[in-house]
């Protein structure tokens, strides 16, 4: 399995409705993108980044499909529209 983690900073506090839309779009990955086992997202409640998401995928091939999938690109566009100013990504294999 592959774990894909993304940590996000926004220029300013995002609109709560847009943030809820973002979370729902990310959670929908598990039924919209082949190979996605689970997808979670939420606003950070402690220090550090403003928002985080995790996507668990079946394997490296599923990861490659996910990265190029239109629904993934749609979320990336939404993040930019919401004022994403910085992000960090960690991808690793897990069992």
The pLDDT tens digits of the residues spanning 18-37 come to: 999 999 999 999 999 999 99
Q: Write out pLDDT tens, residues 49-91.
A: 999 999 999 999 999 999 999 999 999 999 999 999 999 999 9
Q: How many CA atoms lie within 13 A of 51 on its CB side?
A: 26
For 13-92, where are the alpha helices, taking DSSP H only?
Answer: 16-27, 29-32, 60-68, 70-81
Contact (CB, 8 A) for 9 and 85: yes
What's the whole-number average pLDDT of the chain?
97
């Amino acid at each position: 399995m592959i774990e894909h983690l993304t940590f996000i900073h926004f220029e300013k506090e995002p609109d709560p409705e847009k943030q809820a839309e973002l979370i729902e779009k990310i959670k929908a990955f598990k039924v919209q993108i082949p190979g996605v086992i689970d997808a979670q997202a939420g606003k950070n409640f402690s220090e550090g980044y403003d928002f985080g998401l995790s996507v668990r995928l079946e394997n490296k091939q599923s990861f490659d499909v996910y990265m190029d999938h239109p629904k993934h690109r749609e979320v990336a566009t939404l993040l930019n529209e919401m004022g994403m100013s910085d992000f960090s990504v960690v991808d690793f294999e897990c069992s």
